[in-house]
Homo-oligomer: A and B are copies of this chain.
C-alpha cells in the first residue's frame, strides 16, 4: 500500500483571554469561519490538539460567533490556559490529535475482556497525557467498577499508576503510612495519628486526598489548619525536621492518574474496589511507604457494608500490597455511625483540636480510634512490642506531646491557621421522643455536601446525639452549617424529602 505523508501547515491563530472557567475540562473557543476550522474540517465538539509555545493539550472545540472573537483569534478555557502556560497574544497552533492508541484496550475492557500490564500502562499513559475526554474517563471508571477488575488487573493498574508519576525515595528503613477506606463521615483520625506516630519516632510522611464522594477528604480538613499544597522538596523538609507531615497527594504529583480519574469519579459519585485499591496503594508505594495501616470502617451505610465485603477488599489489598512489597495491617473498625461531632472540613478540624488539646468535651470516639490506629502503626513498624502500642499512643496525647508535634508540623508546612466559622446555621430537632437507633451515613454525607462541603470549608453538619441516646421531642439532633443561603435551602429541602437520616426508635 502506498504510504502518504501529505501534511498541510494551516498557520496559527492569536490567543485572546476570554476568562471562561470550565473547571478541569480543557475547551478551545474558535470561529467556525476561521481558516483553521475551514481547512481542518473542525466543528463543535471536535477534539483538537492545541499547541502554544511548545506545550500541548487536547481540548474540546466550542464554536463562537464574531461577537466574541476576531477571525484570526482563538480563546482557551482557564484550565487549558494555565495548563499550557499561555499569555495574551500568544501564537496558537490547532491540529487534529493523533488517534488515541489505547482506545482499543479501553473498548476491550468495556466489552468484558481482561487487561494486562501493557494495556494498563497504555491507558494510564494516555490518561496522564490528557488524551482521554471526560466521557472516556467515565467509561474507564465504569468498566472497572464493582468486581470488574480482577487481582492481576488491579496489580497492573496500580503499577501503571505508580509508574506514571513521581516516586519519593527516603533514606529511612521504615516509612509508615496510614489510610482510611472512607465512607464514614467525620472519620478524621489522620492528623492525630501522624502527630502521635511522628512524636514516637517513626517517620510518617502522609499524603492525603481531597474528597471524592465525601463531604471532606483529609487534605480538605487539614487545609483549614495549615497549607497542604507542598511539593516534594517542601514535604521532605517537613518530614526531616518533624518526622511527619499531612500534605495533599495531588500537589506532589504522586500517582497523578488518580487525581485525573477522581475528576470524573467525583461528579459520578462512585468508585470501585479495584480502583480503590489501586488508588490507595499506588499513592502509598509512590510516597515511598514501607509499612501501611489501613482503617476499614464496616457498617450498613459505610463504604464497606458487610463482613463479606470487608473480607473481599482486605484480601485484594493484601494481595496487591504483597505484589508491591508493602507490609500491610488492616484494622476493621465500627462503621455504623459518624466519628466525632463534625462533618465537613472546618467542623472536623474543631473536633481534632478538641482531642489534641484534651478538652473535656472532646469526642471520645475520635480519640479512641486515633489511639487504636496509631498503636497499629507503631506495632507494625516495630517501634513498640505487640499489645503496647495503645498505651504509648495514649500517653502522647495525654501529656500534650502530640499537640505540640501537630503545631510544629503545621508551622513547618507554612503556618497554622484558625478554622473558619459558618455564618448560616439551622438546628434540626427531633419530631418526637425516642432512642437514637442509627444513622444513614450516605445521606448524612449527601446533606453535608448539599450544605456546601467541602468547597465551602465551614459548611457541613454538627451532630448533637449518638446511637443509644434518648431524646425528647424538640431536642436538637444536629445543626446544618452553610456559607450561602441557597445551599442551606437546598440541604433543608433534601432533608424534608428524606426523613430518617437520624433514626429514632419510639420510646415505650
Contacts and interface: CB of A to CB of B under 8 A. Distances in A.
Interface stretch (A143-151, A189-197, A311-319, A360-368): A143-151
A268 B133 CA distance: 9
A67 interface: yes
B39 A2 contact: no
B8 A145 contact: no
A41 B452 contact: yes
Interface in A99-151: 99, 103, 107, 110-112, 133-136, 138-139, 141-143, 145-148
B107 A269 contact: yes
Contact of A142 (B23, B95, B110, B500): B110
A29 interface: yes
Contacts of A492: 4-6
Copy total for this chain? 2
A160 B225 CA distance: 51
A487 interface: yes
Contacts of A55: none
Contact of A7 (B45, B477, B487, B489): B489
A426 interface: yes
A414 interface: no
B135 A19 contact: no
Given A111-B146, A145-B110, A8 B485 contact: yes
Contacts of A146: 110-112
Contacts of A169: none
Contact of A39 (B77, B96, B103, B486): B486
A387 interface: no
A1 interface: yes
B493 A5 contact: yes
A99 B3 contact: no
Interface in A1-45: 1-8, 10, 17-25, 29, 32, 36, 38-45
Contacts of A64: 18-21
B452 A484 contact: no
Interface stretch (A251-259, A335-343, A427-435): A427-435
A91 to B, nearest CB: 18
Contacts of A62: 20-22, 77
Contact of A143 (B2, B142, B486): B142
A44 B22 contact: yes
A270 B134 contact: no
Contacts of A67: 17-19
A367 to B, nearest CB: 29
A463 interface: no
Given A1-B502, A6-B489, A501-B1, A484 B147 contact: no
A441 to B, nearest CB: 14
Contacts of A428: 1-2, 4
A496 B4 contact: yes
B39 A29 contact: no
A483 interface: yes
A277 interface: no
Interface in A478-497: 482-490, 492-497
A507 interface: no
A421 interface: no
Interface string A180-207: 0000000000000000000000000000
**Which 10 pairs across A and B sit closest by C-beta, in order of nearness?**
A40-B486, A19-B65, A41-B484, A23-B45, A142-B142, A138-B138, A21-B63, A4-B492, A41-B487, A112-B146
5 contacts: A4-B492, A6-B488, A21-B44, A134-B138, A139-B139
Given A6-B488, A22-B44, A143-B145, 7 more contacts: A20-B64, A22-B62, A68-B68, A99-B446, A99-B494, A107-B270, A136-B138
